[in-house]
Amino acid sequence: MVRLGVHSGLTAKPTPTGDIPMLKLSKASKMPCRSWSLQALDTCPASRDASGALVPACSGCYATTGNYRFKNVRAPREHNRDDWKRDSWCDDMVAELDNDRYFRWFDSGDMYDIRLARKILEVCERTPWVKHWIPTRMHKFSKFGLVLARLESLPNVVVRLSSDSITGETIQGSTTSTIATLDTVPTDAVVCEAYTREGKCDKCRACWDKSVSVVCYIGHGRSMEKRQRESVIATTGA
């Protein structure tokens, strides 16, 4: 479901054609909060390796299957790719988050443009009452280093650097995430138990918790599970 921002029409400036731009936030039924997202892969430059192939974690991306394929689900994500470029976008986002206490950036997509990353930083700085969770792979690009460090320094923001692995390998960082099978969960990780609750967070807020160093998501869906089996066999020969 997509919820149009209640403040957006009041604060956003008309476009040259006279249209009033509006924020388009998502509210997945399995999540405890709203999110702002972009189209998967199209805005994920870090989803591909040096050869141009999708990294393992992205090759079975949930945001390219199921309901995410429908036009009405894609439309707000495609809209957002242009909407964030408005001069008043940060003001609109701050006003829209007035009553939110948790927020997720990117249930699909990533902060593919450094200008977007800087705007997200501004929104987070101006909404200290909101706990922001930002999963990203943009740590692979050095030009994002400073803005990611500034985001990580904010007490109300958790930037989770995503590993490319689907068999539990982790990466360096104060707050990171990885995907694994039940047999390959890292010993130092907190396992996301949404897989036991039909994908629902329920009362868990580990992803927003700075004290949780590594969150491990159990791969789900036939496509991902197949890739995990192939990866385990390739690695262990078993």
- The domains of the chain are located at 2-236
Give the residue-averaged pLDDT of 154-181: 96
Query: How many other C-beta atoms are found inside a 10 Å radius of the C-beta of residue 167?
Result: 22
Structure confidence at residue 41 (pLDDT): 74
**117 or 75, which is more confident?**
117
Residue 65 has pLDDT above 80, yes or no: no
pLDDT band at 95 (very low <50, low <70, confident <90, very high): very high
Is 50 exceeded by the pLDDT of residue 6? no
Q: Given a cut of 80, is residue 163 above it in pLDDT?
A: yes
Name the pTM for this structure: 0.85
Alpha carbon distance 106, 87 (integer Å): 21
| Amino acid (one-letter) located at 3 | R
Q: What is the pLDDT of residue 172?
A: 96
- pLDDT at residue 8 greater than cutoff 50: no
142-150, long-range: CB < 8 A, 24+ apart: 143/114, 144/111, 144/114, 144/117, 147/114, 147/117, 147/118, 147/121, 148/117, 150/121
Name the more confident of 109 and 230.
109
Residue 11 is predicted with a pLDDT of 35
Residue-wise over 29-47: b if at least 16 C-beta within 10 A, else e?
Answer: eebbbbbbbbbbbbbbebb
| Residue 210 pLDDT level (bands cut at 50, 70, 90) | very high
